[in-house]
Amino acid sequence: MTENSNHPLSILSASEISDAVSILKKSNKEHEHSSFSYISLNEPDKKSLKENSNLEKIVKIVGVDKKSNGFEAEINISKKELLTEKKISNKAGPTYTLSEIFGAIELTMGDENYQKALEKRGIKELSLVQIDPWPGGGFVNKNIKSGNRALRAISFLKDSEKDNAYARPIQGLIAHVDLTEKKVVEIEDHGVVKVPEASARYDKDGQETLRESPKEIAITQPEGVGFSVKDNLISWEGWQLRASIDPIEGLALHQVSLNDRPIFYRAGLSDMVVPYGSSDPMHWWKAVHDGTEYGFGTMTNSLTLGCDCLGEIYYLDAHKLAFDGSVETIENAICIHEEDFGVQWKHNDATQMGYNEVRRSRRLVVSSFATIGNYDYGIFWYLYLDGTIQLEIKLTGVVGISAYHADIHKSGQDFKISPELASPIHQHLFNVRIDWDLDDGENQLYETNVEPLPINNTNPEGTQFQAVSSHLKKESEAQRNIAPEKSRTWKVVNPSKLNKVGLPTAYKILYGNTPTLLSNPNSPPGKRAAFAKYNIWATPFQNEERCGGGRHTVMHSGEGGLEEITAQDRNISECDLVTWLTFGVTHLPRPEDWPVMPVEYCGFHLIPVGFFDQNPTINLPPSCSSKSKSNKQ
């Protein structure tokens, strides 16, 4: 759909990907047998790009060879040459490839003990069994050798090809698969529990009746849309940015600026984790890193006009490297459109007989959806006329599930969501890395807390309170959590740019309520997903520090994560600043989440604080639409 240009941050084209793979395979024939999980641009940092916008394109390819050893290779696609190739230690291995995932399913399906366990449950038709492999790191089965790659699998039963298998968990049956040895090393069987019977389809043919269609809402822009897109560069109402799909992070934004003033150079999902808090044998060990273990961005959906996206839409395609080395195009991967967003500002002046000034708000939406197993996640970035930037993650899909049985419902760890099913308590914790470039210079980080003042001569009635700001100068000082009772916020500041009131220009990070990690910090998920211990971390920029949980997390114990990254306790008092923001939801499943979950939301806002000298939307013209109707006309 879009022509690729030669900008160093353009989306990789299908031919660039296939060229890179052939250069790699030509230089090392062994790669004919490798399987791949990742290709991405080695993005230039902001300094290199400011100095030279004509940089050569270098890409990185990651995968596993036929002996299950991880590797990564860098290829200069401008010069068509292999630059480096090195092994990745399997103690902290690269993302699972689809061939490993399919392999785990096949090995489990073919295992004699697994088939016997199915027979014990009266299941004979293997083609209706759905096997879901989950990452094998954190709690490694004793029969799996250290350094081997592994998955463990749980199973579900469909009643027909199109059925929702999650309605019928095959309770208490877990297969441990060694991917390096290519064998099932143990079938863990916690005893037969009756397979639930009810069906739980969510497609339209699966419903007894459908409600009448709501009246159509048509969104049209007869004068055309207000944004323009050239290559992957988007311009709208003074905003400029580039968008791309990273194989791990999914939707990433680059070079976000407003009225030619840079705000941040890059933002993307540095990692995420979904730890389960149940004691159920199907779930207690689950704490998947959907980014680095499963390749969140490679699971990006092709969006459909009028269904996923409503109105006047511009799409960007993305291309990914399939496990077999071929190129797959994700059509309509990124959706771009404008939305009316209610009232931007208003005042009704009662002293002037109800003189009413009102302006409408609108926003530019840049979004994508990725499906990772049973869950679907939307990444929605919103840019507003008043300088606000919002990230909203939408969570939907099918919750983790167990067959309900007598032992399961004794505590607040598992929730009965249908007469035959229980769903375990769990968290979805996201970490977004923002590489700041606020007002084109070095940045600082401040924390502000609002505190009541003590009663004394100057505050005799105890009515006074004040904001107290402190400059966070070292990495260790910037590991902080929200405190709603103190209205705590963090502010990214450019100390060398002053606004009209004489204060440095800034953007504030605003959270709603958000949890941090509940797993014990010394537990395997506590160590592997230590990024989720704090709502904010800050570091001085280093190009290779991109993933909050570590770049390679398959079978890892936390290597390379934010705890290790910040262990040097570097100075961040005035630097090329990177913040890492953790937020998410702690999910107590409810009957309404079944058979598919209505969207739940989480995220944060970035709002200008003295970045402008006054309300930047004061000059918006009134926009009273003559096409509006009411019953009073």
CB of 584 to Co ion, least distance (A): 10
Decide if 329 contacts 349 (C-beta within 8 A).
no
The answer to whether 266 contacts Co ion (rule: CB under 5 A) is no
Q: Choose the binding region for Co ion from 170-178, 209-217, 579-587, 621-629 (rule: CB under 5 A).
A: 579-587
Q: Residue 166: CA atoms inside 13 Å, Cβ hemisphere, count?
A: 21
**φ and ψ of 29, to 5 deg:** -60, -25
Q: How many helices (H) and strands (E) does the chain have?
A: 6, 30
**What tokens appear for 532 in the block?**
């989720």
Provide the mask over 182-211, with x wherever binding to Co ion is found by CB under 5 A and - wherever it is not.
------------------------------
The reply to whether 613 belongs to the active site is: no
Please tell me the distance from the alpha carbon of residue 571 to that of residue 111, in angstroms, as a whole number: 54
**What tokens appear for 624 in the block?**
């009273």
Comparing CA positions, the residue from 623, 608, 604 lying closest to residue 226 is 623
Decide if 274 contacts 286 (C-beta within 8 A).
yes
Q: Which is nearer to Co ion, 374 or 481 (CB)?
A: 374
CB of 518 to Co ion, least distance (A): 14
Provide the mask over 485-524, with x wherever binding to Co ion is found by CB under 5 A and - wherever it is not.
----------------------------------------
CB of 585 to Co ion, least distance (A): 7
DSSP letter at 454 equals: P
**What tokens appear for 156 in the block?**
């579900």
Collapsed DSSP state (helix, strand, coil) of residue 594: coil
Q: Which is nearer to Co ion, 319 or 587 (CB)?
A: 587
Q: Which is nearer to Co ion, 359 or 587 (CB)?
A: 587
Exactly one of 114, 166, 314, 375 is catalytic; name it. Answer: 375
Please tell me the distance from the alpha carbon of residue 633 to that of residue 630, in angstroms, as a whole number: 6
CB of 418 to Co ion, least distance (A): 16
CB of 22 to Co ion, least distance (A): 41
CB of 427 to Co ion, least distance (A): 8
Q: Which is nearer to Co ion, 480 or 590 (CB)?
A: 590
Decide if 544 contacts 514 (C-beta within 8 A).
no
Tokens 């299941």 locate to 123
Q: Which is nearer to Co ion, 423 or 566 (CB)?
A: 423
CB of 597 to Co ion, least distance (A): 7
**What tokens appear for 197 in the block?**
């019977």
CB of 195 to Co ion, least distance (A): 23
Q: Choose the binding region for Co ion from 409-417, 483-491, 584-592, 614-622 (rule: CB under 5 A).
A: 584-592
Residue nearest Co ion, CB atom distance: 587
Exactly one of 290, 317, 414, 437 is catalytic; name it. Answer: 290
Q: Which residues of 562-584 are buried (b: 16+ CB within 10 A; e: fewer)?
A: bbebbeeeeebebbbbbbbbbbb
Kindly determine how many residues on this chain lie close enough to bind Co ion according to the rule CB under 5 A: 1
The answer to whether 587 contacts Co ion (rule: CB under 5 A) is yes
Decide if 237 contacts 258 (C-beta within 8 A).
no
The answer to whether 527 contacts Co ion (rule: CB under 5 A) is no
Q: Choose the binding region for Co ion from 45-53, 385-393, 556-564, 581-589 (rule: CB under 5 A).
A: 581-589
> What sections of 444-541 are H helices per DSSP?
524-528
How many angstroms from the chain centroid is the CA of residue 289?
10
Q: Which is nearer to Co ion, 263 or 429 (CB)?
A: 429
Decide if 199 contacts 206 (C-beta within 8 A).
yes
Task: Return the ∠ at Cα 379 (arms to 492 and 296), rounded to 5°.
Answer: 110
CB of 279 to Co ion, least distance (A): 18
Please tell me the distance from the alpha carbon of residue 102 to that of residue 599, in angstroms, as a whole number: 29
Q: Which is nearer to Co ion, 306 or 598 (CB)?
A: 598
Q: Which is nearer to Co ion, 59 or 602 (CB)?
A: 602
DSSP of 428-451, one letter per residue? Answer: EEEEEEEEE-TTSS-BEEEEEEEE
Q: Choose the binding region for Co ion from 96-104, 212-220, 466-474, 587-595 (rule: CB under 5 A).
A: 587-595
CB of 399 to Co ion, least distance (A): 6
- Give the Å distances, CA to CA, from 559 to 91, 298, 378, 493: 9, 23, 28, 31
Q: Which residues of 110-141 are buried (b: 16+ CB within 10 A; e: fewer)?
A: ebeebbebbeebebeeeebbbbbbbbbbbebb
Q: Which is nearer to Co ion, 152 or 587 (CB)?
A: 587
Please tell me the distance from the alpha carbon of residue 622 to that of residue 476, in angstroms, as a whole number: 48
The reply to whether 290 belongs to the active site is: yes
Find the Cα–Cα–Cα–Cα dihedral 544, 550, 555, 558, rounded to 10°.
Answer: 140
Please tell me the distance from the alpha carbon of residue 296 to that of residue 393, in angstroms, as a whole number: 13
Q: Choose the binding region for Co ion from 218-226, 264-272, 518-526, 583-591 (rule: CB under 5 A).
A: 583-591
Collapsed DSSP state (helix, strand, coil) of residue 388: coil
CB of 274 to Co ion, least distance (A): 7
Q: Which is nearer to Co ion, 556 or 587 (CB)?
A: 587
Q: Which is nearer to Co ion, 203 or 600 (CB)?
A: 600
Q: Which is nearer to Co ion, 57 or 587 (CB)?
A: 587
CB of 291 to Co ion, least distance (A): 16
Decide if 575 contacts 496 (C-beta within 8 A).
no
Please tell me the distance from the alpha carbon of residue 93 to that of residue 550, in angstroms, as a whole number: 10
Task: Give strand pairing partners of 251.
Answer: 245
DSSP letter at 474 equals: B
Tokens 């504030």 locate to 508
Binding site for Co ion (CB under 5 A): 587
Q: Which residues are catalytic?
A: 290, 375
